[in-house]
Amino acid sequence: MLHIKTPKTGRARRELKKIAPKLVETGKKTLILHGTKTSNVINNVLTEIYHLKKDNAVKYTKRNDNIRPFESGGETSLEFYSLKTDCSLFVFGSHSKKRPDNLVIGRTYDHHIYDLVEVGVENFKSMLSFSYDKKFAPLIGSKPFFAFIGEGFENVEELKHIKEVLLDLFNGQVVTNLNLAGLDRVFVCTAVSSNKVFFTHCALRMKKSGTIVPRMELVEVGPSMDLVIRRHRLADESLRKQSLKTAPELKMRKEKNVSRDIIEGKIGKVYIPDQQVGSVPLPNKSKGLKRERREAKTKGVGKTHVDKKPKQQDS
């Protein structure tokens, strides 16, 4: 006999529902963790990334000695933590002689590693080192702007990749309705060379300009750092295809027989089935169409007789 387990409380049921696959996903959670050895820089970077993403991030504080995302077998416990915390983005910090101040940013699909980017952190400037008017400080969980500068983001494969990863990491929730008054932060990424990205976080000041579009002004609030790309692994092509699928229910169906015109507006085509003129009975029988009485007499007698018989039997 099959045994099934269902949650005993409504709360547990709701929690399970939250982590179940959805048609429209609400936003990715981020797991922040580190290896056995970390430098001061990496510690600060991880805490500040956690601060930026505090609304949906999980930070682990223990040292993890068996996580090596790029090596086979080194990702098992990472995938397990991703499943455990229901996170599909992770930032893993480590520090070694070979790769000082190392940061691995990766994504998971179905709790298996999807793609990875390894970067080294240089010229790190903490949030605390910036002095600015605190009333401009961005609020937690606000929807950020992104500005990517430099042709490298289009031509160099690694930079193209990190652009997508950074966008996914800091993007937060995909929203359809946006409050314009709540916009208060910008992430600026500049491709300095073919493997170096200058990354900074700015607050946004909207000033009156006389038109409906306010004049934007950026105030650097940090953290800011240089990301030097080391290793990267792109997603498997078939997996990528699968992960980019959208539900057929959500796809916009083409509306048939409706077109739009600038002058006439919405135009619809209506198809009417053929009129079957022959089968339509005439409104009133004209005298010419009536059969003659004589004809009815000669033919009708036999007919009525035959018709009647089965009727009687029927009843």
Partner 1 sequence: MSEQNSNFEVDLGNLMAFDPHRHFSTPPSREELVKESLQQGTKLVQAIADSLFSLTSTEDRDGPIVKLPPPTTRLPREKPLPKPRPPTKWEEFAKKKGIKNYKKDKQVFDEQTGTWKRRFGYDRVNDDNDVPIIEAKLTDEPGQDPFAKRRTEKKQRVEKQEKNRLHNLKDAAKVGALPSHVQLAATSLPITGTQAAPKKISKDELGNVAGMAATATASGGKFDKKLVGEKPLKHDKKYRKFLPVVEGSGMGSLERQQTDKVLNKLLSTSSHNILDVNKAVNFYNVKKDKKRKHQGKISSTSSKLKSKKSPYKKMSKKGSSSEGKSKRS
| Of residues 249-308, those binding partner 1 (CB under 8 A) | none
Please, what is the minimum distance in Å from the beta carbon of residue 159 to partner 1?
Answer: 11
Does residue 140 interact with partner 1 by CB under 8 A?
no
Q: Give least dist CB 274 to partner 1, A.
A: 22
- The single-letter code of the amino acid at 149 is I
Site string for partner 1, 89-128 (x = CB under 8 A): ------------------xxxxx--x--------x-----
Asked if residue 66 lies in contact with residue 73, where contact means CB atoms within 8 angstroms, the answer is no
What 8-state DSSP symbol labels residue 253?
A: P
CA-wise closest residue to 187 among 166, 207, 206: 166
Residue 164, both tokens: 């997508």
Q: Please, what is the minimum distance in Å from the beta carbon of residue 33 to partner 1? A: 18
Q: What are phi and psi of 196, to 5 degrees?
A: -130, 130
Minimum distance of partner 1 from residue 286's CB (angstroms) = 29
How far apart CA 144 and CA 240 sit, in angstroms, is: 25
Residue carrying the six token digits 């709790």: 111
Rule CB under 8 A: say whether 214 interacts with partner 1.
Answer: yes
Scanning residues 148 to 207, which ones bind partner 1 (CB under 8 A)? 148-151, 153-154, 163-164, 167-168, 171, 174-183, 186, 188, 190-193, 198, 200, 202, 204
> Measured between alpha carbons, how far is 117 from 230 in angstroms, rounded to an integer?
8
Binding of partner 1 at residue 138 (CB under 8 A)?
Answer: no
1 lies in the site for partner 1, by CB under 8 A: yes
**Are the C-beta atoms of residues 120 and 105 closer than 8 Å to each other?**
no
Could you tell me the end-to-end alpha-carbon distance of the chain, in angstroms, rounded to an integer?
A: 57
Q: Considering only the stretches 3-11, 34-42, 94-102, 129-137, report the one whose residues sit in contact with partner 1 under the rule CB under 8 A.
A: 3-11
Q: Does 220 participate in binding partner 1 (rule CB under 8 A)?
A: yes
